[in-house]
Amino acid sequence: MSQDSGSGRLAGKVAVISGASSGIGRATFELFGREGAKVVATARREEKLQEGLDAVKAAGGEGIIVPGDLEDDATAEKVMQAAVDEYGQVDVLICNAGVGWQYGEEHPGTMAGVHEATVENWRAVIGGVDLEGYFTMIHAALPRMLERESGSIVNVASMAGVTGLYDGHAYTAAKGAIVNLTRSMAITYAKQNVRANSVCPGFIDTAMIAPVIGVFDDPDAAHAMVPLGRAGQPEEIANALLFFGSDESSYCTGSNLLVDGGCTSRSFAA
Ligand code: NAP
């Protein structure tokens, strides 16, 4: 993907991004920095966050990193307080941190169907970062946004939040919940000028889907999977998050944008 120097589409805004250490979150961290946001980046791996911050600063941007584990309920408040301490406000929240198929390789049963998963597997995903991690971040950001009657919350869900999958049932339940939580927040907080939208990526070439990305090596299989015939790049999701984070989306709240190469638009492969 080409990277321009940005045109200030987020100038003056403070943007908090979860899962900023890799994949979609890292691309968003760098893009938001180029577009003039003061970026507050969080994830567990401090050295990866620092790499992102170095890239942001090298491009003339500004930000801080706040390492933390979203399995710990206190992390979200720590991140928001750090944002307010440093920059005085939170304008944009990108809820993005999540686990998927790579996590499933490391934690058998978590990306399984209901018939194979245990209650503990279910809780690890739903009660962990994939759903509860969104709740805690939003819960910590909202009072700051409502107080100022200004804010944009953008939730990274998944095309698996609007279609079913043969496995990963806890994941799909979490993603479907995120899409509808977004709608509920949109109607509840619209009067206070806090917008909420979601973005549903399709197959994106990140660590999360490393165990399955090999299917795109075969062009026929790639087109059978995705009409555009390839996996997406993290920057292609970051661009959608930029739109919703910026004032360009000022009339969008409760929107759900699929960015999936056409995957969910057809009923069967040609
Ligand atoms: P990724 O490269 O694996 O990034 C996941 C991010 O989440 C990392 O920054 C990771 O950072 C963070 N994270 C995971 N567990 C965490 C925890 N307990 N506490 C704090 N941070 C945690 O995957 P990605 O593809 O960019 O995923 C980003 C989002 O896109 C996810 O919500 C995912 O469900 C969604 N999505 C991805 C795809 C896809 O095909 N890639 C498709 C649809 C939706 P640390 O490890 O440093 O903590």
Q: Is residue 198 part of a domain?
A: yes
Q: Supply the range of the domain harboring residue 185.
A: 14-204+233-265
Q: Is residue 27 part of a domain?
A: yes
HEC profile of the chain: CCCCCCCCCCCCCEEEEECCCCHHHHHHHHHHHHCCCEEEEECCCHHHHHHHHHHHHHCCCEEEECCCCCCCCCHHHHHHHHHHHHHCCCCEEEECCCCCHHHHHHCCCCCCCCCCCCHHHHHHHHCCCCCHHHHHHHHHHHHHHHHHCCEEEEEECCHHHCCCCCCCHHHHHHHHHHHHHHHHHHHHHHHHCEEEEEEEECCECCHHHCCCHHHHHCHHHHHHHCCCCCCECHHHHHHHHHHHHCHHHCCCCCCEEEECCCHHHCCCCC
Q: Is residue 135 part of a domain?
A: yes
Residue 211 has what pLDDT? 87
Q: Is residue 218 part of a domain?
A: no
- For residue 161, the domain's CATH number is 3.40.50.720
Distance 247 CA to ligand 1 centre (A): 25
Sign of CA dihedral 233, 257, 27, 33: positive
Please indicate whether residue 15, judged by its CB atom, sits closer than 6 Å to ligand 1.
Answer: no
Catalytic residue set: 171
Which ligand 1 atom is the nearest neighbour of the CA of 44?
A: 48
Of 51-55, 120-124, 212-216, 254-258, which gets the smallest average pLDDT? 212-216
Q: Is residue 9 part of a domain?
A: no
Nearest CA to ligand 1 atom 2: 23
Convert the pLDDT of each residue in 192-249 to its tens digit: 999 999 999 999 999 999 988 999 999 999 999 999 999 999 999 999 999 999 999 9
Q: Is residue 225 part of a domain?
A: no
Residue 3 has what pLDDT? 62
Q: Is residue 1 part of a domain?
A: no
Which ligand 1 atom is the nearest neighbour of the CA of 232?
A: 40
Contact 197, 245 (CB under 8 A): no
* Whether the predicted pLDDT of 4 surpasses 90: no
Residue 269 has what pLDDT? 72
Average pLDDT of the chain, as a whole number = 96
Please indicate whether residue 24, judged by its CB atom, sits closer than 6 Å to ligand 1.
Answer: yes
Total tally of structural domains belonging to the chain: 1
* Whether the predicted pLDDT of 58 surpasses 80: yes
Distance 270 CA to ligand 1 centre (A): 31
Confidence of residue 1 (pLDDT cuts 50, 70, 90): low
Which ligand 1 atom is the nearest neighbour of the CA of 205?
A: 41
Q: Is residue 99 part of a domain?
A: yes
* Whether the predicted pLDDT of 270 surpasses 90: no
